[in-house]
Structure 1
Amino acid sequence: MIDAPKNNTQWFWEESGVGVSVHGQFRVATEKSLFAMPETAIGLFPDVGGGYFLPRLQGKLGYFLALTGFRLKGRDVYTAGIATHFVDSEKLGMLKEDLLALKSPSSENIADVLETYHTKSKIDQDKSFILEEHMDKINSWFSANTVEQIIENLQQDGSSFALEQLKVINKMSPTSLKITLRQLMEGSSKTLQEVLTMEYRLSQACMWTVKEVDTIGQRA
């Protein structure tokens, strides 16, 4: 599955939908795309390789997205590094035709076609990344090695954005927050295969004491 070809994807990327797309060589976002990892709100953790790609995003962005479930939309999905290209949704049909028309498609050929559509897209081209003005603080707050320290960092900052994120985190599963932080810290130095193995074991451990009638919707 790791080495299997993945199609270019867009629209909604959440939970398992992320896992079948974000590890692909080419990932296309449009103005209609939405990305989120909401697992800490449902008592789980960002699986499907989240422990691999999230800590590899710029700075501590991945840690922020994983712990808060913050949603990225449209071009921000590309700017964050989650998508490799941004294409206007109305051009997807033409893009598909051009890709299918390649006689001997190679990674280079595909990249050239995608880049052509990417550079022609003007939607939100001059729009700043939604988290741009907060990235320095995000990098500082979420560089802590414990959830408790992250919470303390947010409390000490006291800005409206910090307090907003604090409010969000306080609604999340405390157990999930701790598991997720450790997952990303460990995953930052592991291969994708190693991360997937780790996440499988984590999922089994999380379900170990859950009764058959229970669901992952509990706030641990």
Structure 2
Amino acid sequence: MAAPEPQTIIERTGAIGRIRLNRPKALNSLTLAMVRDIEAGLDRFEVDPQVAAVLITGEGERGLCAGGDIRMIYEGGKADTDAPTMFWREEYRMNARLGRFEKPFIAIMDGIVMGGGVGVSVYGSHRIVTERTRLAMPETGIGFFPDIGASWFLTRQDGELGTYAALTGEQLLAGDAIALGLADLYVPSDRLPALIEALAALPAAAGHNEISESIAAFTESPPNGTMASRRAAIDRLFAFDTVEEIIAALERDGSDFADGTLAVLRTKSPTSLKVTLRLLRLGRKAPSLEACLAHEFAATAAVLRSHDFYEGVRAAVIDKDRNPQWRPARLDGVSGADVAAYFQPSTEPLFPAGSGKGERT
């Protein structure tokens, strides 16, 4: 019997240490084993003098990574195992490490890039999108909240694009991702093989500037995204600290955009919307990526006790009826105590006290 395909391929190609996510049938969704493979790859490439930079890509034609293995978290939570907590703990620590990784880290964000897929790419030094990029943090639609440091990277820019992206879960095109500060460069997908060859051909001593120059030879101006024309409206309508105020502003506005956004928000978990907004507002004041990850990790304990997470995954992944029955079903049914449950300190902190370090954004 042939050996099973590895979930992650770790290899050196010329001057590039490659991390290839290899679950194409599952849109390269992350398992705990893959998180550990990535960490092992970073360990290896960080000290290898023949590696000038690290490159992460997704196998197959559909995307870099669609997120964490939600079915595993659902089943582990239902069975009251420690698998979900272990996964989040190691994933979030990996996210923090990527944020301070010293060698250039190149992410090709081609196709679907969602949730945990954003987490393995957004902290890179060179983040490349294509015409096929569809980036999103869709967690409010499954009774969860945008995690993997989203309360950090969605709050580092002026205005409310991050708030909009987090609450609605709307997919962002290449131009949107760049406008939001989640990507840097646009390369048409048919030029990616040649780009990877050029990177591999660089000398082992190549530095950040040489890598940037090599990538620049393949870049183009990105097509306009959908957010550019809506930015003023988004900044105005989402500039509140409660979801109720945002809903009221959208209702008063009455534009097609506002009405469409209201329709989207009304499909999301009311509890998730409130928890997400509070995490974002805390994130704006947070001193570090680690601080945001710690808040998010603490909140996962309440996720595993919640109704909405299991109902959201059931509707989206298990039964696929796309008809979640949220509990509470309305914003006015979500109490302060319901939200406060997500903001209790973790009994097992994600990072040791005093471990916060500077991050690259």
* TM-score after normalising by structure 1: 0.89
1:187-212 CA distance string (max 9 Å, x none):
112210111111100111221356xx
CA distance in 1, matches of 2:295, 2:124: 20
2:289 counterpart of 1:195: no
Residue type of the alignment partner of 2:188 = D
Which structure's CA Rg is the greater one? Answer: 2
Q: 1:147 to 1:88 in 2, by over 3 A?
A: same
1:10 has 2:104 as partner? no
Question: Aligned residues: percent identity?
Answer: 35
SS at 2:232 equivalent: helix
Which residue of structure 1 lines up, in the alignment, with residue 207 of structure 2? 106
Could you say which residue in structure 2 is the equivalent of 1:47? 147
Which letter maps to 2:290? Q
CA distance in structure 1 between the partners assigned to 2:225 and 2:134 by the alignment: 14
Give the equivalent residue in structure 1 for 2:319: none
Shift in alpha-carbon separation, 1:75–1:129, aligned structure 2, 3 A: closer
Asked if the contact 2:151–2:279 (Cα under 8 Å) also holds between the matched residues in 1, the reply is yes
Structure 2 Cα separation of the partners of residues 143 and 181 of structure 1: 11
Distance 1:14 1:209 in 2: 22
Q: Aligned to 1:188, what secondary structure does the other structure show?
A: helix
Whose strand fraction is larger, Structure 1's or Structure 2's? 2
Q: 2:238 aligns with which of 119, 135, 142?
A: 142
- The two structures have a TM-score, normalised by structure 2, of 0.56
Pairwise CA distance, 1:9? 2.2
The CA distance in 2 between the partners of 1:16 and 1:41, in whole Å, is 15
Aligned to 1:163: 259
Partners of 1:30 and 1:75 within 8 A in 2: no
- 108-117 vs 73-82, which deviates more? 73-82
**Counterpart secondary structure, 1:9:** strand
Give, in whole Å, the separation in 2 of the partners of 1:154 and 1:16.
30
Query: Is residue 118 of structure 2 the alignment partner of residue 24 of structure 1?
Result: no
Task: Kindly report which structure 2 residues correspond to 1:181-192, keeping only aligned pairs within 5 A, or say none.
Answer: 181-190=277-286, 191-192=288-289
The 2-side partners of 1:215 and 1:151 are apart by 24
Q: Give the drift of 1:216.
A: 5.0
Match of 2:31 in 1: none
1:28–1:149 distance in 2 versus 1, CA, 3 Å: same
Further displaced range: 5-14 or 173-182: 5-14
Seen in structure 2, the aligned counterparts of structure 1 residues 195 and 89 have a Cα distance that, compared at 3 Å, is same
- Choose which of 173, 188, 193 in structure 1 pairs with 2:269: 173
Q: Which runs of 5+ in 1 are unaligned?
A: none
After superposition, what is the alpha-carbon deviation per residue over 1:1-31, rounded to whole angstroms, capped at 9, x for unaligned?
3234544221211011111111111110011
1:107-141: CA deviations, max 9, x gaps?
222112222222xx26xx5x433122221111011
Q: Quick one: distance in 1 between partners of 2:281 and 2:158?
A: 14
1:65 and 2:165 matched: yes
Q: Which has the higher contact order (CA 8 A, sep 6+)?
A: 1
Work out the number of aligned pairs and report it. 214
Q: CA RMSD in A?
A: 2.1
User: Structure 1 3/108 Cα, relative in aligned 2: closer, same or farther at 3 Å?
Assistant: farther
* Structure 2 gap segments, 5+ residues each: 1-93, 314-323, 328-361
